[in-house]
Amino acid sequence: MRKIVGRPDLSSLPALPLPIHIRSTGYNEAEPGWEEYETDKPFVQVFWCVQGQGAFLLPEGEAVLRPGETIFHLPGEVHHHRSCDPAVPWRYYWFTFDGSAAADFMLSYGYPRCGMYSGECPAELFLELEILVRKATMYSQRHALAVAAEILARMGGTEEPAPAEDQVRRALDLLRDHLREPELTVAALARKLGVHRTTLNRRFREEMGVSPGAYLDSLRRQRALRLLRNTEMSLKEVAEHSGLANQSYFCKLIRQATGVTPKQYRERERAAYRSSAP
């Protein structure tokens, strides 16, 4: 299912002298394997994921959008998106706006380009925006700008910051869910949560007794050790499946935990298993 609602004339800006103009809005439910590629889009586009996963090509690299997360394109960027969950359709709401101030308006919110966690999608606001875009009256244009600004405000979370324990719980979920992704770092985690890295470190230590970086290393090390013991994967594959693209760091983590290299650890574990077998 794909729904697109746009103002009557997309080729020109309305006469009303607003700083930005809402151009279109809609909803997409993309089946696994769906992909689109378009260039030279002269508008800002905002996405809010409600199900599945989708990959975005951004100037900073590829970013993956998951439920509750938001991301945006600026004017002139390539729009290359693909559904990347092999089992679940990718569902998201979106809207676009243009005008001479569009890019500055979006950037003024200070949101990270790689996407961030924003919480439950305000679907009712997207539906209200759809109605206003269809009407295309002077009042509806002004009202649509207000609704769009409300959506952008909610992207950054509610006015009251989430309790520290909620942020840590969300951090734990992200760490466990995206452990295999080498681009998952403490800095990326902080951006996803919409908090400063120093704040995240402090709150994580208060709740868990260790830094988020140390906790992430522990999760990756545990996974790597399990794969070394129980699979026939190559050492490179074990590292990649543990989110450790850097082979030197992979070896360092294993040696810190076991006193030997990954290869020696695997050989030692297999020898111990053979000697204990009946």
- pLDDT by residue (tens digit) across 206-236? 889 999 999 999 999 999 999 999 999 999 9
> Do 146 and 171 fall within a single domain?
no
Domain extent, residue 18, equals 2-155
Whether 115 and 173 map to the same domain: the answer is no
180-195 confidence digits (pLDDT tens): 998 889 988 888 887 8
Residue 151 and residue 202 share a domain: no
Q: What is the DSSP string of the chain?
A: -EEEEE-S-TTS--SS--SSEEEEEEEEEEPTT-EEEE----SEEEEEEEES-EEEEETTEEEEE-TTEEEEE-TT--EEEEE--SSS-EEEEEEEEESTTHHHHHHTT---TT-EE--S--HHHHHHHHHHHHH--HHHHHHHHHHHHHHHHHHT--SSPPPHHHHHHHHHHHHHHTTT-TT--HHHHHHHHTS-HHHHHHHHHHHHSS-HHHHHHHHHHHHHHHHHHH----HHHHHHHTT---HHHHHHHHHHHHSS-HHHHHHHHHHHHHHH--
pLDDT digits (tens, 9 = 90+) for 69-106: 999 999 999 999 999 988 899 999 999 999 999 999 99
Residue 97's pLDDT is what?
97
Q: Grade residue 115 by pLDDT with cuts at 50, 70 and 90.
A: confident
- Within this chain, do residues 133 and 84 fall inside the same structural domain, yes or no? yes
The band of 158, judged by pLDDT with boundaries at 50, 70 and 90, is: low
Same domain (yes/no): 211, 124: no
Mean pLDDT, all residues of the chain:
90
- What pLDDT shows up at residue 236? 93
Of 123, 155, 187, the one marking the end of a domain is 155
